[in-house]
Amino acid sequence: MVMHYKIAGHLACGSHGDKLPSTTELARVKCRNCRNTEVFKEARRNARNAARRAARKAKSERAVNDWRTSWEARLSSLPGPQRLPRGFGEQAFV
């Protein structure tokens, strides 16, 4: 059974009929005409980009907090005037 893409109450491919199966879920759409419309392509692009942004944000937050904070804490706990590497702070000595 062919599943159509429904946007704002209308089918993207322009087909008419009350009995045609339709959905707003991008992965379930099987109609080739619906999949080739600009509306469907833009919705798919927006969903893909949103997923990439969320993954990138989660990865960057996890990566920054993992090593940098533990390294700063380790250097700060060392006795004596231990110097932090460049980029870790404005102070000359800990």
pLDDT in tens, 35-68: 999 999 999 999 999 999 999 888 777 666 667 7
Using DSSP's 3-state secondary structure scheme, residue 27 falls into helix
Instruction: Tell me the CA distances in angstroms from 80 to 76, 86, 94, one per residue in order.
Output: 10, 18, 8
Residue type at 75? L
Instruction: Bin 37: left if φ > 0, else alpha if -120 < ψ < 50, else beta.
Output: beta
Q: Are 5 and 29 in contact (CB under 8 A)?
A: yes
pLDDT in tens, 61-84: 766 666 777 777 787 777 766 666
pTM here is 0.60
pLDDT category of residue 9 using cuts at 50, 70 and 90: confident
